[in-house]
Amino acid sequence: MSGVTVSHAVRCDALHKRYGDVVAVDGLSLIVQRGECFGLLGPNGAGKTTTLKMLSGILYPTSGEVEVDNYTPSKRDYDYLRKISLVMGQKSQLWWELPAIEGFILNKEIYEIEDKYFEDKVAELSKLLEVEDILKVPVRKLSLGQRMKCELLAALLHNPKVLFLDEPTIGLDVVVQKKIREFFKQYNQDSKTTILLTSHYMEDVSELCKRIIIINHGTKIYDGSLEDLTKKYAKDKYLKLIFNNKIKKSDLYKYGEIIDFEQNGLKATVSVARENHTKAAASILENLPVDDLDISEVDLEDIVSKIFQEGRN
């Protein structure tokens, strides 16, 4: 068999590297109370992950001050690192070819955890996370949900006082997402660990966090409770309707904005002004063949999208 190698040179005189400064986080100021669980929201590129990396000491801020529990994260003091843990949904700290338990043992040595405490903690967390039967299975053979649970277990072995969670449920199915949210809720209540959460899943935030901070282009645009956010931006309520008989879309125009309408004419969602929603609901019940009616708040995801949209205009 003969082979031929062809090589050629290409001149790229027209291509030049260009450098510039990008401000990832700009004038962001926040205070988090001990034991608080709060959400950090924003679109891709808003500065959420950069903020968590600064708080955990991975990145050094070019200006300003960062302090967590009287420590400066960028100094990477060992005592500080023992008090925190960072879990990133798209990064793994466990060894791919080894069973999860081997990774836990490595963390045990790194954090100088006593044998008895380690055994008790693994037993406690593996039961809560429902991974007792897979601790000796190589990580590469685990499902995404199982791996994420093991990542959480590894991150919590040294009993951190502050837990940074960057998209911890990304890519997981809804069942596993729900179980992990339940775990975080229980863990926060039991351990009083401070939790800073970033997520694109609004269910994560609405179920776990009473307070949220919304940032865009590195700048804080909202800091407060979910309740106040709803009052400020959710001027409407949703009427979710199921009909006995098919109706026309035009039958709903006079009640409010139609958010969703199924083509079979049997289901619809109408957005109605908050102050008029009971009157509108009564009129719909009287004039249309309603089988079921549910009155709900505007979805958090819709509220956040509205805030971003207003910020661009």
| Distance separating alpha carbons of residues 313 and 309, to the nearest angstrom | 6
pLDDT, tens digit, for every residue of 145-195? 999 999 999 999 999 999 999 999 888 888 888 999 999 999 999 999 999
| Domains of the chain as residue ranges with CATH | 37-230 (3.40.50.300), 235-297 (3.30.70)
Average pLDDT over residues 71-75: 92
pLDDT of residue 16: 65
- CA-wise closest residue to 265 among 284, 290, 238: 290
Angle, vertex CA 195, rays to CA 312 and CA 109, nearest 5: 130
Average pLDDT over residues 287-295: 93
Res. 4 pLDDT band, cuts 50 70 90? very low
**C-alpha dihedral over 265, 270, 276, 279, to 10 degrees?**
20
42: left (phi over 0), alpha (psi -120 to 50) or beta: left
pTM: 0.77
Work out whether strand 219-225 and strand 211-216 pair parallel, antiparallel, or are unpaired: antiparallel
The H or E element spanning position 270 is strand 267-273
pLDDT, tens digit, for every residue of 78-100? 999 999 999 988 788 899 999 99
pLDDT of residue 15: 58
| Distance separating alpha carbons of residues 267 and 291, to the nearest angstrom | 10
For the sheet containing 84-88, what is the strand order? 84-88, 162-166, 194-198, 37-41, 211-216, 219-225
Residues 6+ apart with CB under 8 A from 35: 188, 192, 193, 194
| Distance separating alpha carbons of residues 277 and 270, to the nearest angstrom | 10
DSSP letter for 167, please: S
pLDDT, tens digit, for every residue of 188-232? 999 999 999 998 888 888 889 989 988 887 788 888 888 888 777
SS3 136: coil
| Distance separating alpha carbons of residues 70 and 83, to the nearest angstrom | 12
C-alpha separations of 168 from 2, 104, 105, 125, 148 in Å: 53, 19, 22, 17, 8
pLDDT of residue 13: 53
pLDDT of residue 303: 78
